[in-house]
Structure 1
Amino acid sequence: MRPPLPPFSLESAQAKVRAAENAWNTRDPERVAQAYTEDSVWRNRDEFLTGRAEIVDFLKRKWSVENGYALRKDLWTFTDNRIAVRFQYEWHDENGQWYRSYGNELWEFSPEGLMSRREASINDTRIEESERRIFGPRTAEEENAPLPLR
């Protein structure tokens, strides 16, 4: 069991989104993968994955390239066992070039609260280091602030 469990209310959907944000900000592939079913199906950009082992491998590759990764997720909408989020994260490559990645995710959950399906569409935009606005876990001031469009 991985509470909160479906069917989701506004409060439980928001809690699920924040738990996902917090887990991804650890950049710990094994910890993140525990939120997904053993046979979870993913589409991440142009990659298609099935199962926790592939998720762990993917996340190891991702975070070996996306240095300084820091993420924010916002609830977009929800229904019984599905949640849609929008997100932004910032990272830099091995040359020190910073990026802000914008995206949307569609999530589907098992009755046990594990994510059985994740579909993510993501675009990367180059930014200057001086344009950064995400520096790790949320601060108290950020707690209820929506993500800016740019």
Structure 2
Amino acid sequence: MEIKLPVPPFTLETAKQKIRMAEDAWNTRDPEKVSLVYTPDTIWRNRAEFPVGREQVKEFLTRKWNKELDYRLIKELWAFSENRIAVRFAYECRDDSGNWQRSYGNENWEFNEQGFMMRRFASINDLPIKASERKFFWDLGRRPDDHPSLSDLGL
């Protein structure tokens, strides 16, 4: 049986590690890679969409990143328990007309014993911003370790 480290029960250190791994994966904008951290029968709520299973998650992420260009995401721990983690996040992206937005939200995650995410419930708000108001500046991909966190940025 495959294991996706770290596994529950989470400690402060392993919860933060799991969050950073998720952030790094999402910043690849690779739907196939990202979908593999979820159980085959994962259940999501993302705004008004309710994907079930890895295939629907992959389709959702493909649509998402085809329209959310120059996507950069930061996640931060809010709380954790044995097999659950609550995360707050923000990401910036632009559409194909060059309009930027910052999206803020919270996610509640639940993991199985092997460390795969079974449930992901996200609540998200979007804020149009000017390019001059952007705060997430790094080359596309993994956020550098020395880039400010959400708390550091006052978000």
Same-fold status (TM-score > 0.5) = yes
Work out which of the residue numbers 132, 141, 146 in structure 2 matches 1:141: 146
Letter aligned with residue 49 of structure 2: E
Q: Which residue identity lines up with residue 123 of structure 1 in the other structure?
A: N
Q: What do residues 13-58 of structure 1 show as CA deviations (whole Å, max 9, x unaligned)?
A: 0000000000000000000000000000000001111000000000
| Cα distance in 2 between the residues matched to 1:88 and 1:25 | 12
RMSD across aligned C-alpha pairs, in angstroms? 1.4
Matched, 1:8 2:13: no
Asked if 1:55 corresponds to 2:57, the answer is yes
Task: Give the Cα separation in 1 of the matches to 2:145 and 2:25.
Answer: 18
| Shift in CA distance, 64/145, structure 1 to aligned 2, threshold 3 Å | closer
The runs of at least 4 aligned residues of structure 1 exceeding 3 Å deviation read 147-150
Separation in 1, partners of 2:98, 2:40: 36
The correspondence of residues 101-140 of structure 1 with structure 2, limited to 5 A, is 101-136=103-138, 137-140=142-145
- Structure 2, gaps ≥5 residues long: none
Q: Offset at 1:135? A: 2.6
Distance in 1 (CA, whole Å) between partners of 2:63 and 2:149 is: 31
What number of residue pairs does the alignment pair up?
A: 150
CA distance in 2, matches of 1:118, 1:24: 14
Work out whether 1:31 is the aligned partner of 2:33. Answer: yes
Please say which of residues 133-142 and 112-121 is displaced more in the overlay: 133-142
Could you state the TM-score of these two structures normalised by the residue count of structure 2?
Answer: 0.92
Aligned to 2:97: 95
The superposition leaves residues 114-145 of structure 1 with CA deviations (integer Å, 9 ceiling, x where unpaired) of 00000000011011101111134323333666
Assess, with a 3 A threshold, how the Cα gap between structure 1 residues 16 and 143 changes in structure 2: closer, same or farther: farther
TM-score, structure 1 normalization: 0.95
CA distance in 1 between counterparts of 2:58 and 2:87 reads 21
**Unpaired stretches in structure 1, ≥5 consecutive residues:** none
| Residue matched to 2:79 | 77
